[in-house]
Amino acid sequence: MSTDLDRLVIRDVRAVEVRDVPFSVGLVPPWNPAERITTRDYLVVRVETNAGVFGISMDGDYTPALPARAERVRDLVAPYFVRKRVMDMEAHTAFLHSIRATGRWYFIAVALWDIVGKIAGLPLYRLWGGARDRVRVYASTVHHGRAPEARAEDCRRYLEQGYRAVKLRLSADTIDGDIALIAACREAVGDQMDIMVDANQAGKGPGSNAPGVHWDLRRAQETARLLGELGVAYLEEPLPYVLEDNGRRLREASPIPIAGGEGKQGLQPFWHLLNAGVYDIIQPDPITGGTPTDMLKIRALAEAAETAVVYHHGKSGVGFMIGLHLAAAFGDSPWLEYMDDGPFWQPAGFQVGFAHTVPVVDGYVHCPDVPGLGIPWDEDWLRAIGLGD
């Protein structure tokens, strides 16, 4: 099979933009409480090879914030890839890093690894290590302004649906408002669910005019103390990336782990984070933070630093699936993010193009036992957008 991989050459790269995919009844994001979002846009690519094996990947964002354009795939990306060997992953990663100022392109490398898994006859998690075949997931909520009583009822519903963990957003004007939300949810589910929280403060440095509440070190420290009393699993991105010294002070004093890093790209920024001692848990995004090749290296750095990895997911169902394979391959990621906030953050909207949404069973998602990514694509949908057989 290695001979087949050595001779595997990219024949074509095609891309289409899929716009205005419904995913919410009206999401109000905590990072911009003045906004109301109902749809997402996606860029979908299909990579063809000389063996007739293809891979599909996609990236997406809130309408109209598509991170890259199909015409740029045709004019910039495809000319590089066509006639290149699929297995030249280091060269492909270097190229995608070199053009990152023109758009978000790392997701294309996921299609290449999908092809490799298919040719090798192995799911990617087994190709990379195969430590386990399932990962515990948490329902990732996001809607701003949800009343504590309503969110507590949401958590009861998640528990009934099989989730054993949930992530809640802290976006109230006051510490008391944030803690009231978490306390209500903890009372609703007791110790039957892990609760983690996200403050979404990473991009709000000094002088920032970003919408929403802005935290300082004092607020982060007091919040972490109170969250510790409520048995919260971790606090995500409570301070801006640029305030490293404050981040280190917070982590050293916090009774609960501090997590972050979803906005970082490439190997060096994560190496720096691990050495700076800002986080107990790093959260690379395998769609926006680098190629799968980068993710394998970042995970190795984290292992050496004895730092946990919990992959971030928020761009597409492909992002969830590649994170699932990465988390299962080595077996040491304690959770994986699963986008689900009822009507505000619908799994079907993130997993558009799949034949069915990926099921959560007893708090876990199982890796598909078929070669490559193992995504059950909806063939009618692929044909409808022009990327079917």
Over residues 158-179, the pLDDT tens digits come to 999 999 999 999 999 999 999 9
Q: Which residues fall within 8 angstroms of residue 178, CB to CB, at 6 or more apart?
A: 170, 171, 172, 197, 223
Per this entry, what is the length of the chain? Answer: 389
pLDDT value at residue 63: 81
* Pairing label, strands 336-339, 364-366: unpaired
Q: Which residues fall within 8 angstroms of residue 101, CB to CB, at 6 or more apart?
A: none
Q: What is the mean pLDDT of the chain?
A: 96
Alpha carbons within 13 angstroms on the beta-carbon side of residue 273 total 33
**Can you read off the two tokens belonging to residue 283?**
């959260």
* 283 contacts 167 by C-beta, under 8 angstroms: no
Q: Render pLDDT for 344-377 as a digit per residue (tens, 0 to 9).
A: 999 999 999 999 999 999 999 999 999 999 999 9
What is the arithmetic mean of pLDDT over 257-282? 97
Confidence bin at 3 (pLDDT 50/70/90)? low
- The residue among 380, 374, 384 whose CA lies nearest residue 56 is 374
- Tell me, what DSSP letter sits at residue 83? T
Phi-psi region of 206 (alpha: psi -120 to 50; beta: other; left: phi over 0): beta
Q: Which residue has the tokens 């006051």?
A: 174
Which whole-number Å values give the CA distances from 144 to 156, 186, 273, in the listed order?
Answer: 19, 19, 29
Confidence bin at 261 (pLDDT 50/70/90)? very high
| Residues 347, 86: Cα–Cα separation, whole Å | 31
Q: Which residues fall within 8 angstroms of residue 111, CB to CB, at 6 or more apart?
A: 45, 46, 47, 54, 55, 56, 57
* Pairing label, strands 194-198, 308-309: unpaired
Own/partner pairs, 304-307, CB within 8 angstroms, 24+ separation: 305/274, 305/275, 307/274, 307/279, 307/280, 307/281, 307/282
3-state class (DSSP) for residue 11: strand
What is the arithmetic mean of pLDDT over 8-26? 97
| Residues 131, 160: Cα–Cα separation, whole Å | 29
pLDDT value at residue 1: 44
pLDDT at 326 over 60: yes
* 139 contacts 160 by C-beta, under 8 angstroms: no
Q: Residue 342 CB: number of other CB atoms within 10 A?
A: 17
- The residue among 9, 86, 16 whose CA lies nearest residue 51 is 9
Report which secondary-structure segment, H or E, holds 363. none
